[in-house]
Amino acid sequence: MEEVDGIIIHSLRQVGCDVEDDVDSLKQFSTELVIEAAVRCLDVIQPGLGLPHSLPDSMSARFRVGASIAQACKNLGYSGDIGYQTFLYSSEIDIRRVFVFLIEKLPKESGKSIVEPTGRIGVLEKAVSETVKKQLASPWLPRYCRRRGIRWYDDGTWSREGCGHNQPFISCNIDVPKTANSRGLSQAWREYYVHHLPLVTEQVPHIHQLLPSLITLNAKGLLTPVQPVHGAISNWDTCKINQQLTDCIARSFDGCSSAPEKESSVAALHIQDNDKKRRKETNSRFALSERLQFTKESNKDKKLQESDEQPFKSQVVMGAEKKRGKEEEMQIAKGEMERLKECLEALQLDVKKLTTKLSQITEEKSHEIRVLKNKEQQQIVKKQTYDLLPEADTNLSALQTSVESSAQTLVLLAAQWEKHRAPLLAQYRDARERNSNKASESQKKVDALRNLREKSRELGEEVRHKEQLHSQLVTEYEKVTKDINRSAYTRRIMEIIGNISKQKEEIDKVLKDTKDLQKEINNLTGQLDRSFTVADELIFRDAKRDETARRAYKLLATLHSDCSELVQMVEETGATVREIRDLEEQIETERAKNVGANLDRISADLRQMKQETAALTAQLNAKS
Amino acid sequence: MSALVDLIACNIIERDSNGDVLWTWSYPSVTEQQKCLVLRKCCLDGDHVIVQPFIYGRSGKTWYYISCTEVFDSDNLPRVKQFALVLWSRDLNPDKYETLCRMLSKTYCKTGSPVSLLQLYLSVVTRGSCTTEENGTFLVRDFEARTNHNNHMPNTRIKELIKMFGLETILIYTALLLKKRIVVYHHSLETLLKWMPTYPALMCHREAADILYPWIDLVSEELLDLKSNMSYVAGCRDSGVGARTDLYDVLVNLPAREITVATHAKESMTMTKTHKDIAVFMVQLSENESLSEQQAVREIADKTRELLNQLRSLATVSTPDGKHVVSIETLRERNLPPALDNFLFNLAVAENMMML
């Protein structure tokens, strides 16, 4: 256990405990040291507990400190029996366990460094999270404990909770001086602002309405510049609108010519008419309805009816005369259209005819050319035949022989050519084969080279990686402090592991032996019983007749009972020995607890506490 | 002993053990353009796993026939894995040239020298026949008899075609009748080449060799060649042809079994009652099991002739040449519905019976 103590003491020294150098086991720890060590550990684990590092003098204070330390340890999650007595009247085993637990709970030195949030947002978020944490941690207070929802905390901060204190958002108009263009302000206005305009706080009927009113005023100020100015249209606006209108009119005319419907065209003409008169009065609604009328052909009639109503409402008087004139124009346009249609059809027919004619003629032409060529060739052949005709037979045979001979010559020529061609071809093929062989070999070499290069690159990478790792580990090793003899610990740990495994083996062996022994015992008892029964029967049978047999039987019985008594004795002895061993172990543990000394100290402290309480009561009585 | 003067040239392309595709021998000569074309079409490069045994196509007015053969160790051609024999000719007769190609290829395999090949070739050109020891005799005569029947080739599959497309076959029929441009698509070359002869067979009274382009690729030279014709039936293996609406009026997609009419051709392909009748008639033909292929073809030809006779009855006007043509006024007098009017107009134009 020395190593454990060594580790504990070392960690305590790191935490900041003032452990003397010659203290190297927990047995030598005094109560003050124990308290100080525990408190320092708790400080590191849970800063802000506010426990004193040294024991106070008064007994009750000491008792309280011990209890709070025990409570803190329990909060951290220590499972086991812990109380003020563990620290004030300590036993080695208990404090060892407690210290091991506390040291485990110590945060790692190489822990994560908390990144402090910088920047406005980060700081704000951190503040918000802290406040919310505090609010969540505090218990609930009923409504009447909070005045207007405000609640005070121990550290002097306050927060608002609940909805009971809310006020409705009622705003009213307030006047503030307009400082946009101060040049435009007349003297009178300025006078008014300076002397007579009441303060904003006095302009609202109720103080709660001040904030909402200011908010609405500011919002209005933000929105006003964005809205478009209604009302009078300036000069250049009118021109733009005129342009749009003329476009619409042109489109309406096109629409008329493709689908001549009297009402729609009349209406369109109406609109054209009315637009000329109502330029100054156009507003967006009318232009929009017009655009709708011309872009959506399907809704044309409907929209026309709508816009129809508009001009009709204002142009009832002039309508009838204009209508007649427009009808006449319509008729003329229609006639034109019919004529154009007929022209178009005639032209299309012409085009069709001409294309077919063209194709026909080109085909005829090509046909004729072919026929001509054929005829020319035939003519040549026929001419030659006619020339040869007078002496047909001889010429025929001559022709045949000439054909044969030319065929033969051709064959000879082919043979000669073959003589040249075949070796050349063979040469070419050989060269190609050699080339391809070389190519394949070089390809193989290239592949091998590439493989080697890959391998060397991989090895290089590995080497680099290992070197990096090596340097890293070396630096880490140097950083790590050398006062703890880690190798000794690791060696010891390995030894312990080895020991444990050996022990396990031994235990297994012992168990096995025990089992075997038990089996043997069972076997033997069984055998014994069986042999006894057999012997008993045998002799009993003879005992009826023979005297010696009877005696033998009696002896057998006594022998059996004596032996069984012996066996019983042996078993009892074994059991007793085991009991003795257990009791001895228990004695050892009890002795380690050091109860006697602790009991003395407790009784002394109790007497001291009693004295103190008596003194305090006497003081109180004296005061009152 | 009729000579086969239509043969123009003969070439050999070899693929050797090094993976090269070489143009090894040719007689008499071919242009660079033709060389490029054939090299592309011969499918000897490593992309194609299966060697197509026999392919044919058209370049301008000449036809080429390519037959690919695998070379085995027993043959006399060292270091050659496969070779293609190309025959150029002026007429369209796949069977004839297939047989000839096969014979020539076998001879070449056996002897390993093109000289023997040349001998056979010349004998076919001069005498119209050639004999080999193992493969028998090739006579041009054998193939001529069949070609006299309206120039339509055997191995047509009209009944299958009608069965595949049902009433939509009328679209193909109309397009062929009105001399439109048809493109047929199938991803497998073999199947495509098997189907191509069927289309011209629907129009027996027209020359198949004029309009048929068995296999085109979407390459600029071939497309130029194609576009120089007013009407054609072209087969394409490239699925991108569907996007080239400038190339076709009607697209027949064989694997998907659908016929698409291009938008610019829709108005000329409107269907009338006559069309419906013919369509129903064709479907009935295909369902009739007892009819053979030849008979089916003949029936359709009869129907077409009926239609043309009907048209000729309208040809009342006679030109100075003595031809009877139809004039627009005659059509207008009949006061036919506009679709039928349009159709008859186009048909007359196609049959050169329209007076313009």
Tens of pLDDT, residue by residue over B179-200, are 888 888 888 887 888 888 888 8
pLDDT at A227: 47
pLDDT, position A584: 95
Q: Which residues pair with B64 in a beta bridge?
A: B57, B88
CA distance B283 to chain A (A): 32
3-state secondary structure of A602: helix
* Mutation site, B77, B113, B227, B267, interface A, largest A CB count within 10 A: B113
User: Strand B212-216 vs strand B250-253: parallel, antiparallel, or unpaired?
Assistant: unpaired
Most confident option among A173-182, A217-226, A443-452, A606-615: A443-452
Q: Quick check: B115 and A414 CB within 8 A?
A: yes
Contact B126/A404, CB-based, under 8 Å? yes
Give the nearest chain A residue to B27 (CA atoms).
A414
Token readout for A10 is: 């070392």
Residue A18 pLDDT exceeds 50: yes
| Å between B210 CA and nearest CA of chain A | 11
Quote the minimal CA–CA distance from A340 to chain B in Å: 22
Nearest residue on chain A to B351, alpha-carbon basis: A360
> Does any CB of chain B come closer than 8 Å to the CB of residue A513?
no
DSSP lists the bridge partners of residue B318 as B324
Would you list the DSSP string of A14-57? Answer: HHT----TT--SGGG--HHHHHHHHHHHHHHHSTT----SS--S
- Asked if B5 and B125 count as a contact pair (C-beta separation under 8 A), the reply is yes
Q: Which 8-state DSSP code applies to residue A476?
A: H
Q: Kindly report, residue by residue over A481-492, the tens digit of the pLDDT.
A: 666 677 888 888
Quote the tokens at residue B311.
Answer: 């048209």
Q: Tokens 């069709």 label which residue?
A: A352
Is the ipTM higher than 0.90? The answer is no
pLDDT at residue A296 above 60? Answer: no
Distance from the A279 Cα atom to the nearest Cα atom in chain B, whole angstroms: 50
> Which of A43-47, A533-537, A579-583 is modeled with the greatest confidence?
A579-583
Confidence of residue A516 (pLDDT cuts 50, 70, 90): very high
Please check the confidence at residue A298 and state whether its pLDDT lies above 50: no
Low-confidence spans in chain B with pLDDT less than 50: 1, 147-152
- CB crowding A144-165: b at 16 or more within 10 Å, else e: eebeeeebeeeeeeeeebeeee
Q: Give me the numbers of helices (H) and strands (E) for chain B, helices first please.
A: 14, 14
Distances from the Cα of B311 to the Cα of A221, A239, B326, angstroms: 90, 68, 8
Q: What's the rounded mean pLDDT across residues A312-322? A: 62
What is the C-alpha separation between A7 and A486, in angstroms, rounded? 10
For residue A248, give Cα distances in angstroms to A226, A255, A268, A281, A421.
30, 10, 10, 17, 85
Measured between its terminal Cα atoms, the distance across chain B in Å is: 47
Chain B touched by A566 (CB under 8 Å): no
Tell me the CA end-to-end span of chain A in Å, nearest whole number: 58
A284's tokens? 């967006």
A414 with B356: Cβ contact below 8 A: no
Q: Which residues pair with A147 in a beta bridge?
A: A150
Q: What is the DSSP letter of A512?
A: H
Return the sign of the alpha-carbon dihedral for residues B115, B120, B125, B127. Answer: positive
- The strand pair at B324-325 and B317-318 is best described as antiparallel
Predicted pLDDT at A580: 96
Q: Give the torsion sign (CA, A142, A143, A144, A147).
A: positive
Q: Which two tokens stand for residue A522?
A: 């069972």
Residue A292 pLDDT grade (very low, low, confident, very high; cuts 50, 70, 90): low
What whole-number distance in Å separates Cα of residue A252 and Cα of residue A266? 11
Inter-chain residue contact A407 with B122, CB threshold 8 Å? yes
Decide: B348 and B354 in contact? Cβ < 8 Å. Answer: yes
Q: For residue B349, list chain A residues with Cβ-Cβ distance below 8 A.
A: 356, 359-360
Residue B20 DSSP class: -
Task: Name the nearest CA neighbour of B34 among B88, B109, B85, B72.
Answer: B88
Given CB atoms, is A348 within the 8 Å cutoff of chain B? no
Tell me whether residues B349 and A359 touch, CB distance under 8 A: yes
Angle at CA A100, nearest 5°, toward A97 and A105? Answer: 130
CA distance A380 to A104: 120
Question: pLDDT by residue (tens digit) across A186-224?
Answer: 788 888 888 888 888 888 888 888 888 889 988 888 887
A436 at interface of B, judged by CB pairs closer than 8 A: yes
CA atoms of B260 and A248, how far apart (whole Å): 44
Residue-wise pLDDT tens digits, A232-278: 444 555 566 667 777 767 676 665 554 444 444 444 445 545 555 55
Contact A414 B20 (CB under 8 A): no
pLDDT of amino acid A501:
96
Least CB–CB distance from A410: residue in B122, B352, B354: B122
Nearest C-alpha of chain A: how many angstroms from B126? 7
Please indicate whether, in this complex, the C-beta atoms of A429 and B113 are within 8 angstroms of each other.
Answer: no
**What CA–CA distance (Å, rounded) separates B222 from B220?**
6
Integer angstrom CA distances of residue B180 from A145, A568, B171, B232, B233 = 101, 124, 11, 7, 8
HSE of B300 in the Cβ direction (CA atoms, 13 Å)? Answer: 31
Q: Name the H helices within A224-261.
A: 235-258
Domains of chain B with bracketed CATH:
2-146 (3.30.450), 151-265 (3.40.50.11500)
* Residue of chain A with shortest Cα separation from B328: A353
Taking the Cβ of residue A359 and every Cβ of chain B, the question of whether any pair is shorter than 8 Å is answered with yes
HSE value, Cβ hemisphere, 13 Å, CA-based, for A459: 6
What is the C-alpha radius of gyration for chain A, rounded to an integer number of angstroms?
A: 61
The pTM of the full predicted model, rounded to 2 decimals, is: 0.48
Tell the residue number behind the tokens 């000069």, with chain if given: A235
Q: Is some CB atom of chain B closer than 8 A to the CB atom of A421?
A: yes
DSSP characters for B299-349?
Answer: HHHHHHHHHHHHHHHH--EE-TTS-EEB-HHHHHHHT--HHHHHHHHHHHH
Residue with tokens 């228990």: A586
**pLDDT on residue A573:** 96
Q: How many percent of chain A have pLDDT more than 90?
A: 24
Q: What is the pLDDT of residue A460?
A: 96
Q: Residue A184 — pLDDT band, cuts 50, 70, 90? A: low
Cα–chain-centroid distance for residue A158? 37
Residues of B at the A interface (Cβ-Cβ below 8 Å)?
16-20, 22, 24-25, 27, 79, 113-115, 118-119, 122-123, 126, 230, 328, 349, 352, 354, 356
Classify residue B77 by burial, with Cβ atoms within 10 Å: 0-12, 13-18, 19+: buried
- Give pLDDT tens digits for A419-441: 898 888 889 888 988 998 999 99
**CA nearest to A554, candidates A568, A567, A540, A538:** A540
Closest Cβ–Cβ partner in B17, B118, B230 for A411:
B118
Q: Which of A471, A444, A468, A447 is nearest to A455 (CA)?
A: A447
Interface probe, candidates A352, A369, A402, A429, chain B, greatest B C-beta count within 10 A: A429
Q: In B, which residues are within 8 Å of A436 by CB distance?
A: 18-19
Which residues of A, range 360-379, sit inside 8 Å of B by Cβ?
360, 362-364
Give the residue, B143 or A584, on which the prediction is more confident: A584
CB contacts, 8 Å: A380 with chain B? none
| The pLDDT of residue A231 is above 70 | no
Q: Does A418 touch chain B (CB under 8 A)?
A: yes
The answer to which of A48-52, A99-103, A316-320, B232-236 has the lowest mean pLDDT is A316-320
* Alpha-carbon gap, residue A282 to A243, rounded angstroms: 13
Sign for the CA dihedral angle at A42, A45, A49, A53 comes to positive
User: Per-residue confidence at A324, pLDDT binned at 50, 70, 90?
Assistant: confident
pLDDT at A124 over 60: yes
Q: Output the pLDDT for position A269.
A: 47
| CA dist., res. B243 & res. B241, Å (int) | 5
- Both tokens of A64, joined, read 């309280």
Closest among A147, A426, A250 to B79, alpha carbons compared: A426
Are B20 and A404 in contact (CB < 8 Å)?
no
3-state secondary structure B76-132: CCCCEEEEEEEEEECCCCHHHHHHHHHHHHHHHHHHCCHHHHHHHHHHHHHHCEEEE
CB contact under 8 A, B119 and A363: no
Q: Which of A73, A1, A4, A65 lies closest to A35, judged by CA? A: A65
pLDDT tens, position by position, A502-514 = 999 999 999 999 9
A-B Cβ pairs (cutoff 8 Å, strict): 54
The per-residue pLDDT for B46 is 53
Q: Are B279 and B259 in contact (CB under 8 A)?
A: no
